[in-house]
Amino acid sequence: MTFDVWWLAYPVLGGFVGFFAGLLGVGGGGIMVPMLTTLFVAQGFPPEKLVHMALGTSMAAIVMTSVSSLRSHHRHGAVLWNVVRFITPGILVGTFGATFIASHVPSRPLAIFFVCFMAYVSVQMLLNVKPKPSRDLPGRIGMTGVGLGIGGISALVAIGGGSLSVPFMTWCNVKMQNAIGTSAAIGLPIALSGTLGYVVNGWGAEGMPQYTVGFIYLPALLLVTVVSMFTAPLGARLAHKLPVAALKKVFAGLLVLLSLKMLHSVLGA
């Protein structure tokens, strides 16, 4: 195995991602995708595969964090398993199917879509947007359709779906605690089907660097995941001691800056 000095950056990224995930309850995709894209540019990876690798690697890293989050919310009785059961078929199909779309879209349009979505997430956080409960959850067919949409967008931006599923469930008169807990449970099928999709679509792709499985870069996945598992509990413990509301606004600004840096890296690659 040939050591790459850029690997030293991945544990730092993992520590950062885990800490903010624990502190603010946000997924790491908004940080991981732009940072991984920038690091992959520095490592000289193929420009046409940069964003695809960043999305695939981020999605794979979400698997472990989603398992931990799901278990925690389940222990507190916050997961509505009926909702999970109805929405999961759509989630699986939407997420897996969208990886096929992503694999045929060049890196630059993918990066532009990611930046636009992160701008939407950032505005939500800055304004603390919370939709007013005004209806009930749809039936099985409606939930499947919602799952298709949430899964599809999640695959294109490598998130666990919380920025979409929590507002949707809140709008449908689901208590915030249950909306967050159920969203955490939904994050696991999103991460699993998204990871599988990026493995399948990247399998045998030409010009891929060493140590990749499909579009997943294993050194980044392992080093980010291992360190984030240690820093996430630290962030969670500090959540009740630090000004989380103010930190969310700082984090929203950080997401925008990282996304713009990612776009600059891709356009210049």
* Owning domain of residue 100: 10-268
The CA distance from 72 to 258, in Å, is: 29
**Whole-structure pTM value:** 0.88
Report yes or no on 4 lying in a domain. no
Greater model confidence, 233 or 205:
205
Residue 256 confidence class, pLDDT cut points 50, 70, 90: confident
Q: Average pLDDT for residues 42-49, to the nearest whole number?
A: 89
Q: Average pLDDT for residues 164-193, to the nearest whole number?
A: 88
Listing DSSP states for 148-189 in one string gives HHHHHHHHHHT--SHHHHHHHHHHTT--HHHHHHHHHHHHHH
Tally the domains of the chain: 1
Whether the Cβ atoms of residue 192 and residue 59 lie closer than 8 Å to each other: no
Between the ranges 7-16, 32-41, 83-92, 153-162, where is the mean pLDDT highest? Answer: 83-92
pLDDT, averaged across the chain: 86
